[in-house]
A and B are shown apart, each in its own frame.
Chain A
Amino acid sequence: EIVLTQSPATLSLSPGERATLSCRASQSVSSYLAWYQQKPGQAPRLLIYDASKRATGTPARFSGSGSGADFTLTISSLEPEDAAVYYCQQRDNWPPFGGGTKVEIK
Chain B
Amino acid sequence: QVQLVQSGAEVKKPGASVKVSCKPSGYTFTDYYIHWVRQAPGQGLEWMGWINPNNGATKYAQKFQGRVTVTRDKFFRTAYMEVSRLRSDDTAVYYCARDGPDRGDLRFYFDFWGQGTLVTVSS
In this complex, which of A32, A43, A96, A100 has the most chain B Cβ atoms within 10 angstroms of its Cβ? A43
Nearest-neighbour CB distance to chain A for B116, whole angstroms, equals 6
**Pairwise interchain contact B109-A34, C-beta atoms closer than 8 A:** yes
Stretch at the interface among B8-16, B42-50, B71-79, B83-91: B42-50
Nearest-neighbour CB distance to chain B for A106, whole angstroms, equals 23
Which residues of the partner chain A approach B113 to less than 8 Å between Cβ atoms? 43-45
A45 to B100, CA, bound (A): 12
Which residues of the partner chain A approach B46 to less than 8 Å between Cβ atoms? 95, 97
Nearest-neighbour CB distance to chain B for A40, whole angstroms, equals 11
Query: Is B123 an interface position by the 8 A CB rule?
Result: no
Query: Is A13 an interface position by the 8 A CB rule?
Result: no
Which residues of the partner chain B approach A97 to less than 8 Å between Cβ atoms? 44-47
A-B contact list, 12 entries, CB within 8 Å: A34-B109, A34-B110, A44-B45, A44-B110, A44-B113, A46-B100, A89-B110, A94-B63, A96-B47, A97-B45, A97-B46, A98-B44
Contact residues of B with A, CB < 8 Å? 44-47, 61-63, 95, 97, 100-101, 107-111, 113-116
